[in-house]
Structure 1
Amino acid sequence: MSQEVVSVKTEPFDGQKPGTSGLRKNVSVFQQKHYTENFVQSILSCIGPRIKDCTLVVGGDGRFFCKPAAETIIRMCAANGVGKVIVGKDAIFSTPAISVVIRKYNLVGGIILTASHNPGGPNADFGIKFNTSNGGPAPDDVTNSIFEFSKSISEYFIVPGLSVDISTVGVQNFDVSGRKFVVEVVDPVTDYVALMKELFDFDALKDLIKGNGEKSGFKILIDSLSGVTGPYVQRIFVDLLGASPDNVRNVIPLEDFGGKHPDPNLTYAADLVNAMKEGDYNLGAAFDGDGDRNMILGSKGFFVNPSDSLAVLADNLECIPSYKNKVTGYARSMPTSAALDRVGESRKIKVYETPTGWKYFGNLMDAEKITICGEESFGTGSNHIREKDGIWAVLAWLSVVSSHQSSLEDIFKKHWEKYGRNYFTRYDYENCDADKCRQMLEEFESKVLSSSFIGKKYQSSSGKTYVVKLADNFNYADPVDGSIASKQGFRIIFEDGSRYVVRLSGTGSSGATVRVYVESYESSQILEDPQVMLGSLVNIALETLRLREYTGREEPTVIT
């Protein structure tokens, strides 16, 4: 029986502008009549002529509203001329795995249902983002087109009678107005695991985890925080690498992430941190809701700062056979510490500094300018896909440990002894009043971008003097296509290389999140407490910003 396409009249909604990684709002916003459909139609229309008979992949992190949203998207794909939709069973698909599928099958793109590290549930957040044919987040020109279309949309197209079963793996064929339309429900883990087995020596990693002969096993503890990585963790670390089922936690994806905040940091993954401190584990890891972010811990809760994680992995990529002699360059987001720069200088490998947002790494990877990249916001990845990849980062770390036959702590100590240490911290002030934050940054901009600010001296409590060398609002010129990203965050850089960065985050669903990043380089004092080492510089940043006065916050929501 042929299904008919229906045109539904609609009107634009304000504010459907994709942020750093898609559109994120409270679930109740997406549940408004026509709201989700409007945004999805904007995506599909902006694909253009290539949409005819193309294949798209759809899936998400399993949070509340994923399944109904996926079913709506499939019906709209059918109406808009898409030939086939690949969807994860029960609408489950990690963000890295969707990138794998897009690249493996040369798809036009994919629609990802996630609000990443934001909370989930009926009263929490939901999100939709579009990844393009390279497997990465849509670049600025595409998201701008989507937003412009959303501002004038007057109708969307859907096949309301299309009944799709996304709970069973298999192929379903439909007749849509005399045209064939296919939905293939797949195991979302299979293609991702196949790629990981190509990149990493699973036999060596299995020997590391299980141990052999006189050598005891390397004990891991991995927490999926009830997000999408659970099935991937179970398949890779338990089924293939031989870890005990007791060494993985929260591996069943839940619509509300078990009532917790699926953000892998010291605050929201406190249960893992405490278990590592109290147990005899060698490596701990946690992932966010959609599986692209990671937090790494060593024995007794040794915290691996994401900036340092990127630098040390970059310095040890030869420990992974598939990357040996294939490193073309490194990249980091602007707020990420300069620890990577020191590795690049030593190895004579170029380091690119980009704005926050993984999409800015995509062009560099496609042009084969970089091999590994990362962000201080717990994002690490390589050119194997065009997304950050939490599980990849853990496998990379296990490969480094296996090669060095050493603990994480010892690996870092040797790295700092060689390069010195870029002490780094980030203060997050979440859900602040947006208007007051804008006023705060306007005043801050007028202060720090004035000519009189250069040369200004600040005294620390330890007697150290900080002299302002540079103050700007970071602009980025893409070395591949020449596109410009302006006003990406304020940088205050001192003569000794210390600095702080201030920017508003684009990943929240409401209010404003102010992020303050503080960094100081030390060549010899490498084993001190970062918060102690950076305390004076943090206070200088907060006082110059007048953050406490504008936000009313005495303490940050999260300290990294």
Structure 2
Amino acid sequence: MIRTVPTAPYKDQKPGTSGLRKKVPVFAQENYAENFIQSIFDSLEGFEGKTLVIGGDGRYYNREVIQKALKMAAAAGFGKVMVGQGGILSTPAASNIIRKYGAFGGIILSASHNPGGPSEDFGIKYNIGNGGPAPEKITEAIFERSKIISEYKIADAPDIDLDMAGSFALAGMTVEVVDPVADYAELMESLFDFVAIRNLISGGFRIAVDSMGAVTGPYAKEIIEKRLGAPAGSVRNATPLPDFGGHHPDPNLVHAKELYDDVMSADGPDFGAASDGDGDRNMVVGKDMFVTPSDSLAIIAANAKCAPGYAKGIAGIARSMPTSAAADRVAEKLGLGIYETPTGWKYFGNLMDAGKVTVCGEESFGTGSDHVREKDGLWAILFWLNIIAARKEGVAEIVRKHWAEYGRNFYSRHDYEEVDTDAANGLMDALRGKLSSLPGQSFGDLKVEAADDFSYTDPIDGSISTRQGIRILFEGGSRVVFRLSGTGTSGATLRVYVERYEPDASRHGIETQAALADLIAVADEIAGIRTRTGRTGPTVIT
């Protein structure tokens, strides 16, 4: 039986760069999740009888919303839903299943790298048939629908046992509970030289992968320990927990400090890596070397032919605008196309679908390729292991040789989290008001060459995205970028990106913050960060 439930709209259901993210108590409000899910279905056409994929990162409230989504999918007319066993599907694994089985689309329940728990974060996003995040025209339609929704439809049916694999009937729709790991592990084995990596590990190369109590634990256990032969315990915090074990599941130098310190110790592992809440981000460290995400993208692109799945070379590289230009230098030398997009993985989808790019990345610890349409943390970790195995060099040696060949882009991101929203918007508005007057001004030895608010015209479909971040470009290639993040749930996150290109190898050993000190000071001077936010320093530096 299909039941029609009267409802009233909520006015705050505008998706950000990766869907709708709010605190759990917000999603737990009467009809809140139902309204948004129905708004997704009401914004789509032609899905009757088709397949929908549903999965999540296992965070608090994941199972409850999956049951709602299953019953609403049945009421909407989907013919089949594929859902991860236990309600688990990493974001890249969900993208792979959508693509592999020709699904109409998918609903991914995650707040990515944000904390989980009864009072922490939850999220819902829709992915289209190519496996990638919905483009703006769809997310805008969902938001507009959410503002006027007056009813939703849901099947009156018992809950599905998510812990039992198999096929089940739900109000005339088939629900297939699938192994969340198998298809993804098979895909990774087709891309990388597992024999070479196994030989590397069996030869004494020690690795540690921190899954941070989040979704990649089962994936890493299957691939790193079982298929690649790493000793038991090489994958840490491997059980997905609703609150991620009380830890912040963001793989950076603050939240994965224990792993970093272990690798940097004299008797620690040779290689360390971490992934985030939903498995789409990564951090890579080696002895005496933290690899910035921007450098990681460039090095993977430069060494892509080491991996069997990319042996014929790559078509091109794409990066988000705030990501450093390290990848640009690789593209220039290899004669590849390079594309600069706004932040948000959805902007890479058209480029990959059109065959313009193979490898892409964002500075926010996200790297991936056209094997799926999401960034992929474990893929990046395996790519690094493949490169190490092929080159027979450690992480630090690989990175330093890359800098020697291409030059070093000193780069850092300063995050000011949970800033008062009005103060953050005021800062950005004031910066926009200065853009026309900044070129030609000098700040110490730094002279502004250009300043703008980045806009992007998609070369495939012609769509235009504006107000994507303020760029201040200095003579000599240095720059500072300011933007407000769309991934938080409380207040605003101001992100300040600072970059300097250094071709002189004799200067590559300078500590990053020291190399960027003058640019960091100028960023505060121009934007008035301390004055406007009341913050004496950033919350997180990466």
Cα deviation code 1:355-390 (max 9, x no counterpart): 000000000000000000000000000010000000
Q: Counterparts of 2:142 and 2:232 in 1: how far apart (Å)? A: 44
Q: Which residue of 1 aligns with 2:458?
A: 478
Cα deviation code 1:5-35 (max 9, x no counterpart): 0000001101101100000000000000000
AA at the equivalent of 1:479: P
Q: Which residue of 2 aligns with 1:214?
A: none
Cα deviation code 1:252-287 (max 9, x no counterpart): 000000111000000011111121122331110000
2:480 counterpart of 1:500 = yes
- Give 2:281's match in structure 1, choosing from 282, 293, 310: 293
Q: Counterparts of 2:461 and 2:49 in 1: how far apart (Å)? A: 29
Are the equivalent residues in 2 in contact too, given 1:75–1:162 (CA < 8 A)?
Answer: no
Say which is worse superposed, 327-336 or 200-209, in terms of deviation: 200-209
Q: Which residue of 2 aligns with 1:456?
A: 441
Instruction: Give structure 2 stretches of 5+ with no counterpart.
Output: none
Q: Counterparts of 2:525 and 2:275 in 1: how far apart (Å)? A: 34
Q: Which residue of 2 aligns with 1:92?
A: 88
- Give 1:541's match in structure 2, choosing from 523, 530, 537: 523
- Give 1:187's match in structure 2, choosing from 176, 179, 185: 179
Trace 1:84-163 onto structure 2 (pairs within 5 A): 84-163=80-159
- Give 2:354's match in structure 1, choosing from 367, 370, 392: 367
Q: SS where residue 24 of structure 1 aligns? A: strand
Deviation at 1:157, TM superposition (A): 0.3
Q: Which residue of 2 aligns with 1:379?
A: 366
Cα deviation code 1:471-495 (max 9, x no counterpart): 0000000000000000100000011
- Give 1:61's match in structure 2, choosing from 57, 64, 69: 57
Q: Counterparts of 1:9 and 1:173 in 2: how far apart (Å)? A: 26
Q: SS where residue 233 of structure 2 aligns? A: helix
Q: Counterparts of 2:248 and 2:159 in 1: how far apart (Å)? A: 33
AA at the equivalent of 2:192: F
Are the equivalent residues in 1 in contact too, given 2:480–2:498 (CA < 8 A)?
Answer: yes
Q: Counterparts of 1:26 and 1:231 in 2: how far apart (Å)? A: 26
Cα deviation code 1:430-467 (max 9, x no counterpart): 001001111111111112x12x32111111xxxxx111
Q: Which residue of 2 aligns with 1:344?
A: 331
AA at the equivalent of 1:550: R
Trace 1:66-85 onto structure 2 (pairs within 5 A): 66-85=62-81
Q: Counterparts of 2:390 and 2:413 in 1: how far apart (Å)? A: 31
2:398 counterpart of 1:401 = no
Q: Counterparts of 1:353 and 1:477 in 2: how far apart (Å)? A: 10
Q: Which residue of 2 aligns with 1:207?
A: 199
2:300 counterpart of 1:313 = yes
Q: SS where residue 157 of structure 1 aligns? A: strand
Cα deviation code 1:171-223 (max 9, x no counterpart): 1124x3xxx31111111001101111111111111111112xxxxx2110100
Q: SS where residue 411 of structure 2 aligns? A: strand
AA at the equivalent of 1:153: I
AA at the equivalent of 1:352: Y
- Give 2:424's match in structure 1, choosing from 415, 437, 453: 437
Q: Counterparts of 1:453 and 1:550 in 2: how far apart (Å)? A: 19
Q: SS where residue 64 of structure 1 aligns? A: coil
Q: SS where residue 36 of structure 2 aligns? A: helix
Q: Which residue of 1 aligns with 2:13?
A: 16
Q: SS where residue 63 of structure 1 aligns? A: coil
2:35 counterpart of 1:45 = no
Deviation at 1:246, TM superposition (A): 2.3
Q: SS where residue 29 of structure 1 aligns? A: helix
Q: Counterparts of 2:360 and 2:212 in 1: how far apart (Å)? A: 24
Q: Counterparts of 1:144 and 1:53 in 2: how far apart (Å)? A: 25
Q: Counterparts of 1:348 and 1:233 in 2: how far apart (Å)? A: 35
Q: SS where residue 453 of structure 1 aligns? A: coil
Q: Which residue of 1 aligns with 2:469?
A: 489
Instruction: Give structure 1 stretches of 5+ with no counterpart.
Output: 212-216, 460-464
Are the equivalent residues in 2 in contact too, given 1:118–1:262 (CA < 8 A)?
Answer: yes
Q: SS where residue 488 of structure 2 aligns? A: coil
Q: SS where residue 222 of structure 2 aligns? A: helix
Q: SS where residue 409 of structure 2 aligns? A: strand
Q: Which residue of 1 aligns with 2:235?
A: 248
Cα deviation code 1:486-541 (max 9, x no counterpart): 01000000110000000000000120000000000111111111011001111100
Q: SS where residue 224 of structure 2 aligns? A: helix
Q: Counterparts of 1:453 and 1:473 in 2: how far apart (Å)? A: 13
Are the equivalent residues in 1 in contact too, given 2:196–2:390 (CA < 8 A)?
Answer: no
Q: TM-score, normalised on structure 1?
A: 0.95
2:33 counterpart of 1:36 = yes
Are the equivalent residues in 1 in contact too, given 2:304–2:313 (CA < 8 A)?
Answer: no
Length, aligned pairs only: 539
